[in-house]
Copies of this chain bind each other. A is one copy, B any other.
Amino acid sequence: MDHTSSHRPDSGQSAQSIGLVTTQTVTLFEQGDPLKLDSGATLQPITVAYETYGTPNDTLSNVILICHALSGNAHAAGHHHPNDTKTGWWDSYIGPGKPFDTNRFFILCSNNLGGCDGTSGPSSIDPKTNKPYALNFPLITIGDIARLQKALLDHLGIKKVLAVAGGSMGGMIALQWALDYPESVGGALIIASTPRLSAQNIAFNAVARQAITQDPDFNNGDYYHGPKPERGLSVARMMAHITYLSEKGLHEKFGRRLQNREQFSFALETDFAVESYLKYQGSTFGKKFDANTYLYITKSMDYFDPFPDPETTAQRLQKVHARLFVMSFDTDWRFDSSRSKELVRILNLHQKNVSYQEFHSPHGHDSFLLPDLEYSRSIATFINRLYDEELHRRHHKDRPA
């Protein structure tokens, strides 16, 4: 399997950016049956925004589906314009010579259903009214998000993915794929995630939604032609941002350092650097993200609970034969390692093919997005082994008896 050796993620200089990429869109469910959602509602038509990196092989056996988290989008790698200073959200991990190696794999990432970056969501036009859906958009689940991704792959003629991978909420979607489409998934990489939200996670989501819906500009979700509830959304984001970072990471980055001043303001000013940083993060996010999407997506996370009781668990896991790799980070307190271990426990209890690794990182929940050599190698090892086995199977199948 010498073709792996040239693609090791630690090969230094060889890892490059995928370069210029373009977001594509496709409209599904235009004719025929609509998409049936877990709530019982239906949706039709549905636009999906997606990006691809690398080249599919002849048998389409090298496809990897990347699932994004709450505020992510289809732009997982590369850049959109030559002058872009920002790259896709998982650019450290997707590209030539990177763990999701575009020299070897065909990578696909789509904006989640309910999103606000090209895929149908509350900000999309409802064909029935020719106005944005707003709160008329149906509530969605993680299962619905996976269902639309499956429809996209069907549309593209892809019957099976070598692997599905995601961090945080993206990890929930990856798990959902392994459960709902067992014949279509070779392996699932579930990173910094959880089999269900805890009461504390739900509580933080509830406060975020309260901040948004109490913003007078929220206007019961119907704000697309007036001022947007940016203030409420920015407060929600500021709070969430605290949960993405470790206490230690925040301390090391900011400590009690003052922002552009030598002494306290003794006024209701921004005194500390950490305040300034959070306000900037909140304000930027409040301007660019859709508040209704934030409501819908947090709700879909609240609802996620594939293993609510032993009977359901056994039934849901019966047909699962994907290889599963669960990864967590030791300073993540949003979804701490005990959540990943709980998932591993459930999967092992049901004789699933599961591996687990905890990585050391000072960066808390955000670690799954940040460059790290050991984490990088483990992803590459998992993905390459899946593919090597696939090639091996194919080689033996094709060889004349």
> Which residues on A are within 8 Å of B, measured CB to CB?
38-41, 135, 138-139, 196-200, 202-204, 206-207, 209-211, 213-214, 216, 231-232, 234-235, 238-239, 242, 245, 247, 250-251, 253-256, 264-268, 270-272, 274-275, 278-279, 282, 295, 299, 302-303, 305
Contacts and interface: CB of A to CB of B under 8 A. Distances in A.
Given A239-B239, A256-B305, A202 B272 contact: yes
Q: Top 5 closest A-B pairs, CB basis?
A: A39-B266, A206-B275, A199-B250, A214-B231, A139-B266
B238 A235 contact: no
B206 A274 contact: yes
A206 B279 contact: yes
B271 A302 contact: yes
Given A200-B245, A200-B247, A203-B238, 17 more contacts: A39-B266, A197-B256, A199-B254, A199-B256, A200-B251, A202-B275, A203-B278, A204-B242, A206-B238, A206-B274, A207-B235, A207-B242, A210-B238, A214-B234, A216-B216, A264-B303, A271-B302
A51 B216 CA distance: 41
A39 B263 CA distance: 11
B198 A250 contact: yes
A209 B239 contact: no
7 contacts: A39-B264, A40-B266, A203-B278, A207-B282, A211-B211, A214-B231, A271-B303
A362 to B, nearest CB: 13
A40 B266 CA distance: 9
A196 B238 contact: no
B305 A198 contact: no
A264 B303 CA distance: 8
A310 to B, nearest CB: 16
A276 B15 CA distance: 49
A185 to B, nearest CB: 26
Contacts of A256: 196-197, 199, 202, 305
A278 B211 CA distance: 13
Which residue of A196, A197, A202, A255 has the most chain B CB atoms within 10 A of its CB atom? A202
A217 to B, nearest CB: 9
A196 B255 CA distance: 11
B210 A268 contact: no
A291 B210 CA distance: 17
